[in-house]
Amino acid sequence: MAETLVNLLLERLASVTVNKIGRELKLVMGVDDEVANLSRNLKLIKAVLQDAEERHVMEASMGEVTAASVGDWLNELNQVSHEMDDALDEWSTEILKQQLLDEQEGVNPTEALEIPECSNKGGIIETAPGTKEKVCLPLPSCFSCCRVKQVVHRPVNILHRVVHRRDIAVKIQSLNQRLAKIANDRQLYNFQDRKEAPKPPPRQQTSSLVIDKSFGRETEKDHLVGKLLDESDSHKRRGPLIIPIIGIWICVSDPFEVIKIAKAIIESLDNVNNTPNSNQLDPLMVRIEELIKGKKFLLVLDDVWNPKSSQWEELIKPLLKGATGSRILVTTRKEEVAHVMGATNQMIHLKALSEECTRLLFNHISFLDREDEFEKFEMFVQEFVEKCKGLPLVAKTLGSLMRRKKTKKEWQDVLKSPIWELKSFPEEVFQPLLLSYYDLSPTIRRCLLYCVTFPKDYVIEKNVLIELWMSQDYLYKKQKKEEEVGQTYFEELAMRSLFQDFEKDDDGNVTQCKMHDIVHDLLQYLTAEECFSMEVKGADEMMALPNSNSFRHFTLMFASQGLFSILSSQNCGNLRTFTTFASRISSIEPEFITSKLKRVRTLNLSRTGLQVVPKEVGELLHLRYLDLSCNSFVELPDKISDLYNLQTLRLDGCGYLVKLPDMRKLINLKHLYVKRCHRLKSKGISRLKSLQTLDEFHVNEDTREEGLQLEDLEILDKLQGALSVQHLTSPLQTVSGAVRARLNKKRLLHLELNFHCYCRRKLRRGEAEGAILNALKPHPDLESLSILNCYGATTTPTWLMSLPNLKRLTLYIKKFEVLPALGTLSFLESLDIRINDALQKVGVEFLGISRISSSSSSEVISFPKLKHLTFSHINEWKEWEEVDSQNIRIMPCLSSLEVRFCQKLKALPEFLWKTPLKSLTIASCPILHSVYYGGNQLQWTTYGEEPAPTNEGFNKISHIPNIKIGYEF
C-alpha cells in the first residue's frame, strides 16, 4: 500500500499540475531544493518497499518479534505520505481557486509578483507604489521572502497568497525532515533493494474473462439434482426439504444475521420492492410469509456459518407456509450447520477435486491461447497440481498467474517462493493468492485492495469501480486518460481470476462482477490497519472501531438514524473513504462532516433516505467522488460549487431534486449522473466543459421556469459513452437549438432521442418535429440509437443511413410511410420498430436491395449481422413483400423474430424460413395466428407444451425450436 502512495507522490511532484504550482512556490526561495530532497528520499524508500511489505506480511504470519517494528516503519511512512499527499492537494486546490478568481476579475497575477533577492528578514508587501503600508511575514530560515513590485489592486488577496506560500513552505520542510528519518531508518532493517525486472510485452488480451467449462463434481451434481426433484415423500414432510452441502465453501454470512437474510429474501421475491423499512424482525417475517404462502419455492442460502438454533427457528417460520415440494439448499463448511437445521440425513459432502480434474482446470487456464507451449512447461505441472490440494480457486488463481510466465525460470521461481512456507494464515489458499497479488504492479495492487470497501458478494459495477479508483488517485498516469488506465487495470485483475461472476452488455463488454469471498478475506487481512467495515446489528449496537489513527477507508452497513452522532466521538479523522450500504440515515450532523470527513476523497451516501444535504459537504476540498443517488432531498446547497476537485457526482434517482447550484467552478467534474431526476431544471450543466459522462439531459418544457435548452449541449464536446435527451417535443425547442447542440462532435456510442413531453401546452408536431430530429445528427461512430415517441415526423431522419457502425436501432416514429434501406447497415444486430399508424407495406427497399433477377451472378447480402428483429403496434401494416432470387442472402444470422399487435398483417415472407431462426413470437396478430396456428380463437400457445398443429402454415415454421403464438394483453 505504501509503495503505491510513494509512486503517486513521485509522479505528482513531477507532474504538470505541480509544475504550475511550482511557479507559485518559486516565489518562496529554497522550495525547489526541498522538493528535490522529497523526491530523492522517496526514491530511496521506493527501492526497498516491496521487500519491506513482503517481510511485514511474512513475519506477521509467522509471529516473529520484528514484525511489529517493520510494521511501525511502514505505518509511519504511510502517515507521512498521506500528509504529503494532502498538502499537495491543498496546495494545488488553492492555486486553482486563485486562477479562477483571476480569470473572473481579468487579473494576471504573474505581472504583479517578482522574486526578490534572498533575505532572511521577512516578507514585505507594498499595497501601492510609494505607500508605507507594509506587512512583515516571518519565514523559516531556509526560505526567503517575496514582495509585490507593481500596483496591486487586491492587496488582501495577495496577502492571502503570500501567507499560503509560507504555510506550504513550512509544511514541506517539516514533512521532508520526517521523511528523511524514515529513509535513514530503512538501513536498520537491512531491506533488500528490489530491482524490478523488465516485464515482457503483454500477450494479446482475449475477450474471454469467464471460464465457462466445468471440471469434476459430476457425481455430486447428479446427487443434488436427484434430491431437488424427488417428491416421493414430500407429503410426509412438514415444510421444505433442507439440503446442506458441506465442503469447500466460503464465509459470507458470518455472523448469521437473520434480519439481513430476511431482507435479501424479500428483495429477491418482491418485484415492486416493498421491503419493510425496518430493522425489526417481525414485519420482515410477515412480508416473507405473504410472498411465499401456498407457493413452491427454491431458496439457496450460500456460505452459512454459525447460526444459533433460535435464529434458524425464527427464519424458518414463514418458510413453512410454502407449498409442498419446496426446497432449501444450504452451502457451508461446517457440519454443525446441518445439525442446527435438523437436516443431517440430507447432507451432501463435497470433497476436494480429484487430481485429474485439478490438472485439467489448471492446464485449461495456464495454457489458454498458448496450447503449443504445454510441452515446454509440462515438467512443472504436477508440482503445481499438488500445491492446489484440490481447491478450485487455487487452481484458477495459479493457472491465471502461470499463464503470464514465459520462461522456465519464472515457473521455477514461483515454485520456490518463500510464500509457500507461510503457515499461520487464516486460510490455506492465501499462499497462492499472495503469489498472484505480489505479481501485480504496486498500483494495480492498490486498486485490488480498495475493493475490500465493498461488502462480500456485492455486485460491483465496473464503471463505478474505475471512478472510485480515480477518486483515490490510483489511476494517475502522465499523458493517459484515467478511465483508460482503469479499464486496463480491471482487465488485468479479471484475467488473473481475482474477479468473477461477470455480467456483460450486448456487445460482450463486462459491466459487472463479483469478488470471490476468499479473495475478499485476503484483502481484509492485508488492509486490517487501513480499512474497516462496520455492521450495525441492532438499533444502537455496532462493531468496535479500531483504536488507531491509521485506518482511512470506512464502510458502514445496516446503519440507522442517529449513528453519526455515535461515530463523531470515534477516532476516524483521517478517512479518505466513507461509504454506506443498506443504511437509512435521513440527516447528517454538520460537525461529523467537518471533523471526521475533512480529508475524504470518496463519499457514498446513496440510498440512505437522505432528506437534506448539509452545506458543510461543500467544504470537503479533497472530495473527488460524491454519490447521493436515490435520495429524497429537493436541492443541493450552493456550497457544493466549491468542490473544485470533484470528478464524479451521482444524483441518479433523486426524483425530488429540482435544480443544481451554479456549477461553473466544478472544472474537474467529468461524470454527472442525473437519470430519473425528472424534475431537474438547472442550466448549470451547460457550463461543465470537462464533462465526459452525462447520462440524461432534460430539455425545458415550460417558459415559466429556467431550464435546459438543446443549445446548452453546445460546449459539452467531451461527452462520450451514452446520452439520453428527453422531452424533445417541448414547444421551446428550435431547429437552430438542435443544430447548435453539435451532437455530431460528441463521441457518443449510445444515443436516445425521446420526444415524450409532460407539458400541458399544445405540443409541436409535424414538420417542425421532423426538422429538429434531422438537426440532431449524431457522431458517425454511434453504435446504438433509439428514437422514441416521435409522433410528428413523417420520415425517418435523413442521417440515419450515414451511421456505418450502428449495431442496435429502435424506432418509435408514428407517421413514417416507408422504411429506409436498413439492410445495408453492415453491423446492425438488433432492430426494433414500434408504434406506427402510416406504414402499410414493407418492401424490398427495406432490405436495401433492388429487384435483382435470378440470373444475376453476384451475391447480395441483406442485414448481414442482424440477430434480433421486432415489429410491434404497426397498426396499418398489411404486406411484407416477398423476394424471390437465388443470389440474395437475407438475414443469415437472424435468431429471434417477434411480431406483436400487427393486426392487419396477412403473412410473413418465405425468406424468413431460410434464416437460422431459433425463436419466433407472434402475439395479438389474429390473421397471422390463423395462418400459422389455425383456428379463430387467440389462445396463447407455446409449441412443445401443446400438440403441434397440422395446418400448412405451421409446417413452414415447425423447424424453429421455440415458437409462441397467441394473444397478449
pTM of the model: 0.83
The grid cell for 596 is 471526521
CB 847 within 8 A of CB 869: no
What distance in Å separates the CA atoms of residue 21 and residue 25, rounded to the nearest whole number? 6
CA distances from 423 to 92, 420, 625 (A): 47, 8, 40
User: What local confidence, expressed as pLDDT, does residue 325 receive?
Assistant: 83
What mean pLDDT do residues 418-444 have? Answer: 83
The rounded mean pLDDT for the chain is: 81
Is residue 856 pLDDT above 70, yes or no?
A: no
CB 601 within 8 A of CB 577: yes
What distance in Å separates the CA atoms of residue 636 and residue 617, rounded to the nearest whole number? 10
Q: What are the tens digits of pLDDT across the range 345-357?
A: 888 887 888 999 9
Is residue 883 pLDDT above 90, yes or no?
A: no
**Strand pairing category for 648-650 and 868-874:** unpaired
CB 313 within 8 A of CB 342: no
Residue indicated by cell numbers 443504511: 583
Is residue 797 pLDDT above 80, yes or no?
A: yes
User: What local confidence, expressed as pLDDT, does residue 176 receive?
Assistant: 84
Residue indicated by cell numbers 516473529: 64
Is residue 268 pLDDT above 60, yes or no?
A: yes
What distance in Å separates the CA atoms of residue 518 and residue 164, rounded to the nearest whole number? 48
Q: What are the tens digits of pLDDT across the range 68-87?
A: 578 888 888 888 888 888 88
What distance in Å separates the CA atoms of residue 54 and residue 438, rounded to the nearest whole number? 8
Give the DSSP letter string of 867-887.
Answer: -EEEEEEETT--EE-----TT
Is residue 744 pLDDT above 90, yes or no?
A: yes
CB 905 within 8 A of CB 868: no
Sign of CA dihedral 53, 55, 61, 65: negative
Q: What are the tens digits of pLDDT across the range 902-929?
A: 999 999 999 999 999 999 999 999 999 8
What distance in Å separates the CA atoms of residue 686 and residue 674, rounded to the nearest whole number? 14
User: Among 400-409, 543-552, 681-690, whose mean pLDDT is lowest?
Assistant: 543-552
CB 719 within 8 A of CB 752: no
Q: What are the tens digits of pLDDT across the range 192-223?
A: 776 554 444 344 343 334 455 666 667 777 77
User: What local confidence, expressed as pLDDT, does residue 262 receive?
Assistant: 84
Helix or strand holding residue 227 (H, E): helix 218-229
Sign of CA dihedral 745, 746, 747, 751: negative
CA distances from 139 to 30, 170, 172 (A): 11, 8, 13
Exposure string over 603-627, b if 16+ CB within 10 A, otherwise e: bbbbbbbbeebbebbbbbbbbbbbb
The residues, ordered by sequence, that sit 6+ positions from 393 with a Cβ below 8 Å of its Cβ are 429, 497, 516, 518
What distance in Å separates the CA atoms of residue 184 and residue 831, rounded to the nearest whole number? 67
User: Among 231-235, 335-339, 405-409, whose mean pLDDT is lowest?
Assistant: 231-235
The residues, ordered by sequence, that sit 6+ positions from 835 with a Cβ below 8 Å of its Cβ are 789, 812, 813, 814, 872, 873
3-class secondary structure, 262: helix
Mean pLDDT is highest, among 162-176, 197-211, 297-311, 366-380, for 366-380
Is residue 231 pLDDT above 80, yes or no?
A: no
Q: Quick one: angle between helices 442-450 and 482-495, nearest 10? A: 80
Task: With cut-offs at 50, 70 and 90, classify the pLDDT of residue 569.
Answer: low
Task: With cut-offs at 50, 70 and 90, classify the pLDDT of residue 123.
Answer: very low
Is residue 118 pLDDT above 60, yes or no?
A: no
Is residue 235 pLDDT above 60, yes or no?
A: no
User: Which residues, listed in sequence order, are joined to residue 684 by a DSSP beta bridge?
Assistant: none
Sign of CA dihedral 847, 852, 854, 858: negative
User: Which residues, listed in sequence order, are joined to residue 503 by a DSSP beta bridge?
Assistant: 512
What distance in Å separates the CA atoms of residue 472 and residue 694, rounded to the nearest whole number? 22
Q: Dihedral angle at the C-alpha atoms of 664, 669, 671, 674, nearest 10 degrees?
A: -30
User: Among 53-62, 631-640, 950-959, whose mean pLDDT is lowest?
Assistant: 53-62
Report percent pLDDT > 90 for the chain.
40
Stronger pLDDT, 188 or 876, i.e. the higher one: 876
Q: Is 225 exposed, middle or buried (0-12, 13-18, 19+ CB in 10 A)?
A: exposed
What mean pLDDT do residues 445-467 have? Answer: 95
Exposure string over 473-502, b if 16+ CB within 10 A, otherwise e: bbbbeeeeebbebbbebbbbbbbbbbbbeb
Q: Dihedral angle at the C-alpha atoms of 218, 224, 225, 227, nearest 10 degrees?
A: 150
User: What local confidence, expressed as pLDDT, does residue 935 receive?
Assistant: 65
Taking alpha carbons only, the member of 38, 34, 30 closest to residue 146 is 30
What distance in Å separates the CA atoms of residue 687 and residue 236, rounded to the nearest whole number? 70
The grid cell for 902 is 400487427
Report percent pLDDT > 70 for the chain.
77
What distance in Å separates the CA atoms of residue 953 and residue 931, rounded to the nearest whole number? 5
Residue 255: cis peptide before it, omega within 30 degrees of 0: yes
In angstroms and rounded to an integer, the radius of gyration of the C-alpha atoms of the chain is 33
Most distant CA pair in the chain: distance in Å? 108
User: Among 203-207, 498-502, 543-547, 746-750, whose mean pLDDT is lowest?
Assistant: 203-207
Q: Is 435 exposed, middle or buried (0-12, 13-18, 19+ CB in 10 A)?
A: buried
User: What local confidence, expressed as pLDDT, does residue 274 receive?
Assistant: 60
| 317-320: Cβ within 8 A, 24+ apart | 317/285, 317/289, 318/285, 318/286, 318/288, 318/289, 318/292, 319/239, 319/240, 319/288, 319/292, 320/238, 320/239, 320/240
What distance in Å separates the CA atoms of residue 384 and residue 407, rounded to the nearest whole number? 16
Mean pLDDT is highest, among 23-37, 490-504, 620-634, 835-849, for 620-634
Task: With cut-offs at 50, 70 and 90, classify the pLDDT of residue 542.
Answer: low
Is residue 168 pLDDT above 60, yes or no?
A: yes
Is residue 260 pLDDT above 70, yes or no?
A: yes
User: What local confidence, expressed as pLDDT, does residue 853 receive?
Assistant: 44
User: What local confidence, expressed as pLDDT, does residue 152 receive?
Assistant: 44
Taking alpha carbons only, the member of 630, 623, 541, 622 closest to residue 585 is 630
CB 813 within 8 A of CB 836: yes
Is residue 62 pLDDT above 70, yes or no?
A: no
User: What local confidence, expressed as pLDDT, does residue 714 receive?
Assistant: 93
Q: What are the tens digits of pLDDT across the range 650-688?
A: 999 999 998 889 888 899 999 999 999 988 877 778 889
What mean pLDDT do residues 241-265 have? Answer: 65
Q: What are the tens digits of pLDDT across the range 326-336?
A: 888 888 877 88
What distance in Å separates the CA atoms of residue 851 and residue 952, rounded to the nearest whole number? 28
What mean pLDDT do residues 12-36 have? Answer: 58
